[in-house]
A = this chain, B = another copy of it.
Amino acid sequence: MSSSIKALIFDVYGTLLDVHSVIEKCEELYPEKGKQISQTWRQKQIEYSFLRQLMGNYTPFSHVTADALRYAVHEHGYELLHNQEQTLMNAYLHLQHYDEVEAVLKEFTNCKRAVFSNGSHDMLDPLIKNAGLTSLFDKIISVDDVKQYKPTPASYLHALNVLGVERHEVLFMSSNGWDISGAKSFGFRTAWINRLHKPTEQLQVPPDAIYSDLRGILEWK
């Protein structure tokens, strides 16, 4: 492996797995509003994880995700019924992985491979299993072990400690620009999987590489 990379760390939601594959389930429950509700749900899920960290009021991601769903549903004039919450939270455990994930991961057998997510283990472990990705990873790492959401330095430090490598030996992948900024600021090498062709975040920590999907990282092999 080039460049002394000893570990690959992958974000999960939006990076390995398509978070908008819950749109169909949302549309079943809320006809015509499914797409908007699932987008607000995702946006508020991220915002609430930031806010709870800033307020010093950490709560696991499963709780944050349910709170974000309730907000998204309220915004469109609905109440969230218990069975609807169960149906939609369950949909978050069954996300589709992006097409190229398995083939790319199988090319990197000579280094540690981990997922690292804001998701708590009650969401993350069944999700990776249901997506059929368990055998491709050495570790499933959650910020919940240290109660520090990304992009705090303490969150990335936890992933580093679990893997037992040095910062500069890590190549970190995320589709979220803010996650890439946090990881780069911490000292990882970073590949931004820019699936949605967004502009680079203006946070003065640009990524080392930008790819439109995970196949781009094969050049680090």
A-to-B contact residues, CB < 8 Å? 44, 47-48, 50-57, 67-68, 70-71, 74-75, 149, 151-153, 178, 181-182, 185, 198-205
Contacts and interface: CB of A to CB of B under 8 A. Distances in A.
A199 B181 CA distance: 30
Nearest to A59: B204
Contact of A55 (B48, B55, B152): B152
Contacts of A203: 48, 51-52, 55, 57, 67
- Tell me the number of copies of this protein: 2
Nearest to A186: B55
A216 to B, nearest CB: 21
**A contact face: mostly helix, strand, loop, or mixed:** helix
A181 B67 contact: no
A181 B51 CA distance: 9
Contacts of A68: 202
Nearest to A73: B199
B178 A56 contact: no
